[in-house]
Chains A and B, each alone.
Chain A
């Protein structure tokens, strides 16, 4: 405990705990934009309350101060056990080894879900667990700072964590109202601390039966409150600036939908980025390619194979260091009797920046890449461990797989299920009824898996379904979860994500292994010709998602259920077996196939106006971010500088110049880590005089003059002492000399620390009456 602080009663500690809880509960509200629903907030508030009030209870039971945080950690563990691991625990509260194993799984699951979910995230148990754990740990930290260290000003540190996260993830950042509410809670905590301290000090003296002498006890409430308000005002200002600037920050730098064209970099759901990119008014160039034989394939970036009911995600597989791209693995399940042909394609990536390489599936080899790239065993997608796609120029050899309808039709469902991993067929147990009935209707009367697949594709491409990137935007519709699929099947409006995920789910329901590939359609030919072959430009509007189904003997086969996008593979057209030459199925949208460029958004012009100002301002946004960070970091320095200027003003013009000079001297000494005992100026001076800085006669004399002046000002017969101009100038001169001497005395690191993190802002010694470290004249 700080020597300045009086011992608190349990009631006063409870008041501090309540203020801490309020601060924690309001600050986690800032996570609102990231997480769907409100149940998670109640959970977090419950955990924070359990930890903070549990701590207060422990203190009321007179548990030793340093032990309380440890017991709070135990309490947190018990709470987590109760909430998440009750089935594996002893008496619902005591964790057993199985509980810890479960927690480990939950943490892994949380990492996965955080990396792969879209915002607002659905609160799966793993995410709830991570939230509860995080809030619990932050609460313990808060409690340590407020109750054990008695430094409530530092409570801002744990609280800033939930405040900052949204700014990095969602476009809008956190709302200003929440910042204001949190700042108000913070001020309240500081206020409670000041009041509680003052009361405690007075009461403590009453306990001893001593009549209180109020004059020396008077806590300078006004100045404390003033300082708190100052700090808070600067904090709110900086936070507001950050909040205002976060949209641009998140758009351009972090989510990569700005001109940098970073894709899927931040681990938010790929679907979200895909939706956002498709809605972008202007297409951004992604890459160009040249296929000398006129081949126009889809390019796969990544493949989603895990479906957990709410989100599609990539199964976590470590990179295999042996899988270098000079020779890719053979595609899974491809039988020897299926016709294949190789097509070399030259690719030049211009702007898109992602760790996933756009390659056609399947490919056999890639040449000319910079950096380390590895292919995935199952999906043959290519990922970099150390670089990204920007500026890459490479030649990829695509293996065109051309199965016949007979080959596909003869593939048995059972054989397919036996060949692939179970997760390609995995569906959560509870799912909306409409999915099951739709799948059953489509599968009825079909003779094989292939026919079912063709029926599903035909159904989705039927005129009933409309391609639209606009309708689903609100309400978290950007996704492939059950809820989304069910409402998609009802509304029959959506874009590739919905078509692809719906087909994949319906296929799994019908017993066909499925996965979703995300990448680019074949792009638009340009006027640029090389050897008579058109170069093809692929841009952000070509981003696409499509399902791939597994057939034994053939392997993974792409389908195209999205009307108006891409091209429908030959083998997947209804009646392909009977008349191989027939063209596309019926449907108005299918006429758009040649360009693959659907009319995206009727309100494109409007969106363009909103989006444009951000488009080319990445350096400026980086500047704003940098400025915000610098401003945030320099708050203590600014507050200290203002304080110093204020004291200098008081020295020059104020009523108690010597007092101001002495306060500034003590504050400087504290800043520089020169120990200053609480006590009279004489005690302080004799302690500080031992420092090497004051071995020099001049500095020592200056310091002693400052001391004499403040003593005369405080206790002398004529109150403020000499306050003529000459005396004031002398004080400034002495203060300067003393400061220079002290600066010479410490290391450069101490000087930097004194400037950036002035300790005197939190260690108030000079004016607050306190208990002395050592008396004596």
Chain B
């Protein structure tokens, strides 16, 4: 993938190329641990670069946590992991003020949320109150305790996992809270060959131990900055708006995409473009991300679900794909110079 040198700014263009190659190396690196899941890995990295949060929804044991850990290690960022349980308290997530006998003052003990990448395992097992605390951190990127506000270190990405099958004793994320995740991916079972290969590599030790760090945190920040400078043309923006509108008016959907969804779709598309070494967004970037970014926010009508079983995921994915196929692709910039 090549881009022509750009009159707009030499530095930005150089960085875009670098973003592309670094991203490819990160994806390749993570792939050594989780074989055959390039799509999920790419989506996860896209979310990190777009400063969003990722929801991984799948059955246990397919490598959700492994993906999050491998990604964090590759990116050289600090990582913490919270195993959500029904009795987990909000302060177990955000941190707690403790009275220091020596200094005779309350001192704030930072919780696990103070990390670049926070893995929230089985987020649906926590009580709504705890979930809300985490989600507030995700949105505000800060923690407020006892009147003091502590900013979270950037980059900050929550990778939450959720088990869609086990329903007893869980508190599934309500629509409003699912909306805060930029994207949702499913891992899916590995192909037989990949599974076989996994058996031989993991026999003795965890592959994570051998995983190299590809990017420094400082580099990651520059990558994120480069993503922010990716150009989005008017037709592409209109296209994203059009897709969102289509979900709101679709007969099979009860709840369509929110304006936040549109915003995040464009952000994710910018990251996607940058990862491919491009400093502008294509409708194809939007297309590629429509399902991971939009699907988890949509609620099908009961009639549409009627024919499916309880798991409406595949149904909504199909609806989104249909909407994408039915929406005319923009021809291009009206500008002619």
Chain A contact residues, CB within 8 Å of chain B: 208-211, 213, 215-218, 655-656, 659, 679-680, 682-683, 705, 708, 711-722, 727, 767, 769-772, 774-777
Q: Tell me if B329 counts as interface (CB < 8 A to partner A).
A: yes
B151 to A: closest C-beta gap in Å: 32
Is there an interface contact between A679 and B280, defined as CB atoms closer than 8 Å?
no
28 contacts across the A-B interface (CB closer than 8 A) = A208-B249, A211-B245, A215-B235, A215-B238, A215-B330, A216-B238, A216-B239, A216-B328, A216-B329, A216-B331, A217-B328, A218-B331, A655-B337, A683-B284, A711-B280, A714-B331, A716-B233, A716-B280, A717-B6, A717-B8, A717-B279, A717-B280, A718-B6, A719-B333, A769-B331, A772-B325, A775-B324, A777-B285
| Docked complex Cα distance between A292 and B25 (Å) | 110
Chain B residues lying within 8 Å of A208, measured Cβ to Cβ, are 249
> Given A714-B233, A717-B8, A775-B324, is A215 in contact with B241 using a C-beta cutoff of 8 Å?
no
Chain A positions within 8 Å of B329 at CB level: 216, 679-680, 769-770, 772
CB pair A720–B330 under 8 Å, yes or no, is no
B173 beta carbon closer than 8 Å to chain A: no
Contact A715–B249 (Cβ < 8 Å): no
* CB-based contact B4/A712 at 8 Å: yes
Sample of 16 further A-B pairs with CB below 8 A, known A680-B282, A714-B331, A775-B324: A682-B282, A683-B284, A712-B4, A712-B280, A714-B333, A715-B333, A717-B279, A717-B280, A719-B333, A720-B335, A720-B337, A772-B325, A772-B329, A776-B287, A776-B288, A777-B272
Residue of B nearest to A205 (CB): B328
Report chain B residues within 8 Å CB of A215. 234-235, 238, 330, 334
B231 within 8 A of A: yes
Chain A CB within 10 Å — which of B4, B7, B8 has the most?
B4
CB-based contact A767/B331 at 8 Å: yes
Indicate if the CB atoms of A777 and B4 lie closer than 8 Å. no
CB-nearest residue of chain B to A722 = B4
| B binding-site residues for A, Cβ under 8 Å | 1-4, 6-8, 231, 233-236, 238-239, 241-242, 245-246, 249, 272, 276, 278-285, 287-288, 321, 324-326, 328-337
Q: Across the interface, which residues of A come within 8 angstroms of B233, CB to CB? A: 714-717
* The residue from A680, A716, A776 contacting B231, defined by CB atoms under 8 A apart: A716
User: Is the pair B245, A656 in contact by a Cβ cutoff of 8 Å?
Assistant: no
Task: Give the one of A217, A705, A713, A717 with max B CB within 10 A.
Answer: A717
Option from A217, A715, A771 in Cβ contact (under 8 Å) with B332:
A715
Which residues does chain A contribute within 8 Å of B284, judged by CB atoms?
A: 680, 682-683, 775-777
B279 touches A708 (CB 8 A): no
**Most A CB atoms within 10 A — which of B245, B278, B287?**
B287
Indicate if the CB atoms of B287 and A775 lie closer than 8 Å. yes
Given that A209-B249, A213-B238, A213-B242 are contacting pairs, would A718 and B8 also be in contact in the complex, using a CB cutoff of 8 Å? yes
Query: In the complex, which of the residues A209, A218, A777 contacts B288, with contact meaning CB atoms closer than 8 Å?
Result: A777
- Whole-angstrom distance between the alpha carbons of A771 and B325 in the complex? 7
A213 to B237, CA, bound (A): 11
Q: In the complex, which residues of chain B have a beta carbon less than 8 angstroms from the beta carbon of A775?
A: 284, 287, 321, 324-325
Contacts of A767 in B (CB 8 A): 331
Residues of chain A with a CB closer than 8 A to B279's CB: 716-717
A721 cross-chain contacts in B, Cβ below 8 A = 4
Closest to B248 in A: A210
Dominant SS at the A interface? loop
Closest beta carbon of chain A to B282's beta carbon, Å: 6
Residue of B nearest to A715 (CB): B233
B residues in contact with A719, CB < 8 Å: 333, 335-337
B330 touching A216, Cβ below 8 Å: yes
Contact of B282 among A211, A213, A770, A777 (CB under 8 A): A777
Interface centre among A711, A772, A775 (most CB of B within 10 A): A775
Across-interface contacts of B288 in A (CB, < 8 A): 776-777
Contacts of B282 in A (CB 8 A): 680, 682, 711, 715, 777
Closest Cβ of chain A to B165, distance in Å, is: 29
A708 touches B280 (CB 8 A): no
3 pairs of A and B residues whose beta carbons are closest in the complex: A714-B332, A717-B231, A777-B284
Task: List residues of chain B with CB within 8 A of the CB of A777.
Answer: 272, 276, 282, 284-285, 287-288
B286 to chain A, nearest CB (A): 9
Contact yes or no, A715 B280, CB < 8 A: yes
**Which residue of chain A has the shortest Cβ distance to B324 in the bound complex?**
A775
Cα–Cα distance between A775 and B329 once the two chains are bound (Å)? 9
Q: Closest approach, in angstroms, between the C-beta of A446 and any C-beta of chain B?
A: 91
Q: Is A216's CB under 8 angstroms from B336's CB?
A: no
User: A210, A713, A727 — which one has the most chain B CB atoms within 10 A of its CB?
Assistant: A210
Q: Which residues of B contact A769 (CB under 8 A)?
A: 328-331
Q: Report the bound CA distance from A435 to B25 in whole Å.
A: 106
Please give, as numbers and ranges, the residues of chain B lying within 8 Å of A211 by CB-CB distance. 245
**Bound state CA distance, A218 and B328, in angstroms?**
11
The chain B residue sitting closest to A767, CB to CB, is B331
| Nearest-neighbor residue (CB-CB) of A659 within chain B | B332
**Which single residue of chain A is at the shortest CB-CB distance from B332?**
A714
User: Smallest CB–CB gap between A697 and chain B, Å?
Assistant: 14
A715 touches B287 (CB 8 A): no
A712 to B335, CA, bound (A): 12
Q: Is the CB of B236 within 8 A of A656?
A: no
- Residues on B with beta carbons closer than 8 Å to the beta carbon of A708: 1-3
Q: What is the minimal beta-carbon distance from A707 to any residue of chain B, in angstroms? A: 10
Q: In the docked arrangement, what's the CA distance between A719 and B6, Å?
A: 12
CA A80 to CA B236, docked complex, whole Å? 57
- In angstroms, Cα B233 to Cα A453, docked, is 98
Contacts of B325 on A, CB cut-off 8 Å? 771-772, 774-775
Distance between B37 CB and nearest chain A CB, rounded to angstroms:
18
CB-CB under 8 A from A210, the residues of chain B are 242, 245-246, 249
Q: How far is the CA of A210 from the CA of B324 in the complex (A)?
A: 14
Measured in the bound complex, the distance between the Cα atoms of B276 and A449 in whole Å is 106
With a CB–CB cut-off of 8 A, which chain A residues contact B234? 215
Closest residue on chain A to residue B283 by CB atoms: A680
The complex places the Cα of A777 from the Cα of B332 at a distance, in Å, of 16
Most buried by A among B233, B276, B321, B332: B332
> Which A residues touch B326, using CB under 8 A?
771
* Whole-angstrom CA separation of A329 from B2 in the bound complex: 91
Within the complex, the shortest CB–CB distance from B292 to chain A, in Å, comes to 13
In the complex, chain B residues whose CB is within 8 Å of the CB of A720:
335-337
- Write out the residue numbers on chain A whose beta carbons fall within 8 Å of the beta carbon of B231: 716-717
Complex Cα distance, B2 from A770, in Å, reads 28
Counting chain B CB atoms within 10 Å of each CB, the highest count among A211, A659, A679, A772 belongs to A772
CA distance A769 to B321 in the complex (A): 18
Q: Which of B272, B279, B324, B333 has the most CB of A within 10 A?
A: B333
Which of B3, B6, B272, B328 has its CB near the most chain A CB atoms (within 10 A)? B328
List of B residues within 8 angstroms of A659 by Cβ: 332
CA distance A711 to B280 in the complex (A): 9
Closest chain A residue to B5, Cβ basis = A722
The distance in angstroms between the C-alpha atoms of A680 and B239, with both chains bound, is 13
A215 to B238, CA, bound (A): 8
Closest to B276 in A: A777
Residues from chain A with a CB closer than 8 A to the CB of B281 are 715
CA distance A241 to B241 in the complex (A): 54
Q: CB-CB < 8 A to A680: which residues of B?
A: 282-284, 329
Chain B residue numbers with a CB within 8 Å of A656 are 336
Name the distance in Å between A349's Cβ and chain B's nearest Cβ: 70
- For residue A679, which residues in chain B have a CB less than 8 angstroms away from its CB? 329
Nearest-Cβ distance from residue B45 to partner chain A, whole angstroms: 15
The complex places the Cα of A55 from the Cα of B223 at a distance, in Å, of 62
Asked if B235 and A216 sit within 8 Å, CB to CB, the answer is yes
Contact between B235 and A714, CB atoms less than 8 A apart: yes
Residue of A nearest to B234 (CB): A215
Q: How far is the CA of A132 from the CA of B283 in the complex (A)?
A: 53
Question: Using Cβ atoms and an 8 Å threshold, which residues of chain B touch A776?
Answer: 284, 287-288
Residue of B whose beta carbon sits closest to that of A768:
B331
Residue of B with least CB distance to A775: B287
Q: Complex Cα distance A210/B234, Å?
A: 19
**Chain B residues, Cβ within 8 Å of A717:** 6, 8, 231, 233, 279-280
* Alpha-carbon gap, A708 to B282, bound state (A): 11
